[in-house]
Structure 1
């Protein structure tokens, strides 16, 4: 028993001394962006009244259109890219568990039986000596005692890589939600574009029939007929193009959803309101960027690189490993566990690199260079996130005025077309005036639709850029 206690003491004493960490102390880098979002004529004055923080708002609460919410839920359950991100998380978790296991000794049990026969001369007579040796033991083999933190830093690096994979999965989710929302809104806009083209095609068709009738009676010229036909043919072409776009939009939405989206969840037109909440903040602190999963992932990568520096530094110091065994040995199987058969052994081993021809220095330089690369990646992620938020805020700041102007322009073009058509039918103006009014109305309808789509997409982008979509 005393020998066993002594052996355990030999094992546990180095553990008590293992408190050295060669990794540099990690300090979060200063954010290389302004402290607050930009201010200026393109931005709405910050007003926190009733505003919600995207990172604290569940996507089911933000997307208020029921059909869109159902499509997003379907995509989160079936999208293959998101499944791949989840699988990557499981891989990183398994690798971390493997690396963490090196911190503790691997205990194994072995049992052996040796049968030997040797020649023996006894009393001048040759004989054969048969020997049977049975042995059973429990022990640890080549366990590295982590005096200088090499194994701990490698384990920490693997842990940070695991955390980074989790954040990458979260980033994939926020991106997927935004992509599904934009695809759904694009399909809605193309559906409405198709409706506008069909309505104007009918109006242009009536004008074409009227001009053909006037030409047959000798009232109108062939030029007026051809001019009317150009508008009618353009509308027909736009109908064909919009029909194709709607089909392609549906294919894109099915790909994102991972399954065929039910017809009941597809949009028939772009809603004028009620797709998303409209109470996002106008100005934010740059610290909110730290809640974005892509930036959090970049920081975990930076922490992992910092831990790898510690592992590379520890390689310059002695590597101490321990092999120990406790068991029993006997010349007969029946006496294997009898008194007096106990055996134990402890074999510490220390190795110190003397000449490695620059291998350890190269590994350390590589670890430091990797840290610098991860630092640049982290800072660029912060700057990219800041720009995305700033761009979305700039777009939002002028969107209301632009939407009002486009709506007024469309209304004016519609009235102008109605008046010019009435004057043409009364014989007051030529058809050229009516044709210009038709084309102006068509362009105004398309521009207003594009502005409405931009506004809806801007709310989605602002929600994503501010870290929304995880809940």
Structure 2
């Protein structure tokens, strides 16, 4: 004899069997074997330590670079130009807009963690079918239908899908904030380097003008000697040939000065910004202290490295989000409002309706879409990690190069000053011997060539020293500090 189960028990068994079948089918959405394989480089793997110098110390150390490092040069014109650039440069404004966009995306992601409520009003004039589910007299008639309703939902984030999406958006926003700071540091360094290039050209122009005056004096001396019969027209023509050469060099330098000023005006986004400025003099610009070693905390001082690290964090959270796609999506939904046939009945108490209950969605067979998505996110994470590693390696090289250049330039300047002093002395002696008739004009020309080369080199080395100081300040992070917005977003990420 077969005993049938009660109807209520049968329903329970059926529900349990259905749930078991769903869970079994869900096993088809398998995420096994899909992982990121790239590894982040740390300070030890890069050879960074407190005890390891980049080169022999030749300049005093400073503990960190100030955020407004350009003030240390003591040039009010430079300070004003950098401030103008930070306020108005379009590229920096683009970086700020990208940050605002990324922050808005984080706010959108955060809203998914909270209950949602919206209202709807639908008013329709409709002909009902004669052959559908509606019997006469409704079937075949034309009626007005209305629905006024509030709809609410709250996704219960049991598996962390929305939480990981928010963390991804916060990582992207933090990366955008660091990118903005990197753009600010780069902009300030470009303004300073262009300004010092203007100073270098001004110094070279002063050398060229001094050369022209010197050659005019020499020409007058040669003419006197030719008139006295002590020299021939050969020496006269040689002396005359030096003047157009000096004037041509002055003109070429004036052209470069104009081009450099135009570049400065482009950086500060203000045409004619340099018209009211005085040409800078290298001697009036104070050198700043340099860092003689690569600091172990370099990874935290550069905005580009911070941005790359935040992109790794965002990609990591994105992988976590892709994993949560394999799990059920559980929503609590509810609605309440009015629905009627005939607009005049819409607001009557008899037209009220409401409903509440859970809504569950579970991936069963996605034809490999979820695994492909996870594999793609893992590849994005590998790319972000390797991009970070490349940024770190380039930063270490950049700092090492600038330190080596700064120390070498210092040593070169010492030697160059000695060489210039010797060349100036030799030139004075050659002119005196020529004036006294004890030497020929060829000796004067030879000595002058050496002097001119040393004067030009002195200007170039002084400008290179300043340029290297700017490059090193940028390489050491330019005083980067996480912005207030970044700190707030990070706090939101760790405190839901």
> Which bin holds the TM-score, normalised by the shorter protein?
0.7 to 0.9
Alpha-carbon contact 1:43-1:396 (below 8 Å) kept = no
Alpha-carbon contact 1:47-1:283 (below 8 Å) kept = no
Cα shift readout 1:328-371 (whole Å, capped 9, x = no counterpart): 45678888667676532135433333333322221111111111
Does 1:34 pair with 2:15? Answer: no
Quote the Cα distance in structure 2 between the aligned partners of 1:153 and 1:127: 54
Q: CA deviation at 1:410?
A: 1.7
Picking from 253, 260, 267, the partner of 1:256 is 267
Cα shift readout 1:207-233 (whole Å, capped 9, x = no counterpart): 234334544655324443343344333
Quote the Cα distance in structure 2 between the aligned partners of 1:297 and 1:395: 27
Picking from 146, 149, 159, the partner of 1:137 is 149
Picking from 397, 413, 424, the partner of 2:407 is 397
Cα shift readout 1:183-214 (whole Å, capped 9, x = no counterpart): 11110111121111011111112323433454
Q: CA deviation at 1:113?
A: 5.1
Quote the Cα distance in structure 2 between the aligned partners of 1:38 and 1:46: 17
Q: TM-score, normalised by structure 2?
A: 0.79
Quote the Cα distance in structure 1 between the aligned partners of 2:384 and 2:64: 29
Does 1:210 pair with 2:221? Answer: yes
Alpha-carbon contact 2:73-2:285 (below 8 Å) kept = no
SS in 2 for 1:138: strand
Alpha-carbon contact 2:301-2:479 (below 8 Å) kept = no
SS in 1 for 2:283: coil
Alpha-carbon contact 1:38-1:390 (below 8 Å) kept = no
Q: CA deviation at 1:180?
A: 0.6
Q: TM-score, normalised by structure 1?
A: 0.83
Instruction: Tell me what 1:308 maps to.
Output: 318
Quote the Cα distance in structure 1 between the aligned partners of 2:125 and 2:258: 79
Picking from 404, 407, 420, the partner of 2:430 is 420
Instruction: Tell me what 1:12 maps to.
Output: none
Picking from 146, 149, 174, the partner of 2:160 is 149
1:106-255 matches, within 5 Å, as: 106-112=116-122, 135-140=147-152, 144-215=155-226, 218-255=229-266
Q: Which moved more, 1:225-234 or 1:445-454?
A: 225-234
Note closer, same or farther for the CA distance 1:115–1:233 as it changes in structure 2 (3 Å cut).
Answer: closer
Picking from 350, 355, 365, the partner of 1:345 is 355
Alpha-carbon contact 1:42-1:398 (below 8 Å) kept = no
Picking from 399, 403, 406, the partner of 2:416 is 406
Q: Which moved more, 1:72-81 or 1:28-37?
A: 28-37
Does 1:319 pair with 2:329? Answer: yes
Does 1:43 pair with 2:53? Answer: no
Note closer, same or farther for the CA distance 1:435–1:39 as it changes in structure 2 (3 Å cut).
Answer: farther
Instruction: Tell me what 1:11 maps to.
Output: none
Q: Which runs of 5+ in 2 are unaligned?
A: 1-30, 131-135, 482-496
Aligned length: 439
Q: Which runs of 5+ in 1 are unaligned?
A: 1-21, 121-125
Picking from 369, 373, 384, the partner of 2:394 is 384
Note closer, same or farther for the CA distance 1:413–1:312 as it changes in structure 2 (3 Å cut).
Answer: same
Q: CA deviation at 1:433?
A: 0.9
Quote the Cα distance in structure 1 between the aligned partners of 2:57 and 2:262: 37
Instruction: Tell me what 2:385 maps to.
Output: 375
Quote the Cα distance in structure 1 between the aligned partners of 2:74 and 2:129: 92
Quote the Cα distance in structure 2 between the aligned partners of 1:116 and 1:241: 83
Alpha-carbon contact 1:156-1:304 (below 8 Å) kept = yes
Picking from 444, 457, 465, the partner of 1:447 is 457
SS in 1 for 2:282: coil
Q: Could you say what the CA RMSD is over the residues aligned between the two structures, in angstroms? A: 3.3
Quote the Cα distance in structure 1 between the aligned partners of 2:296 and 2:263: 34
SS in 1 for 2:114: coil
SS in 2 for 1:418: helix
Quote the Cα distance in structure 1 between the aligned partners of 2:225 and 2:381: 79
Quote the Cα distance in structure 2 between the aligned partners of 1:241 and 1:409: 27
Cα shift readout 1:414-444 (whole Å, capped 9, x = no counterpart): 1221111011010001111111111111000
Note closer, same or farther for the CA distance 1:343–1:41 as it changes in structure 2 (3 Å cut).
Answer: closer
Q: CA deviation at 1:465?
A: 1.2
Alpha-carbon contact 1:67-1:264 (below 8 Å) kept = no
Instruction: Tell me what 2:485 maps to.
Output: none
Does 1:364 pair with 2:377? Answer: no
Q: CA deviation at 1:80?
A: 1.4
Alpha-carbon contact 1:42-1:394 (below 8 Å) kept = yes
Quote the Cα distance in structure 1 between the aligned partners of 2:250 and 2:121: 82
Q: Which moved more, 1:87-96 or 1:259-268?
A: 259-268
Instruction: Tell me what 1:270 maps to.
Output: 282
Quote the Cα distance in structure 2 between the aligned partners of 1:251 and 1:119: 76
Alpha-carbon contact 1:37-1:390 (below 8 Å) kept = no
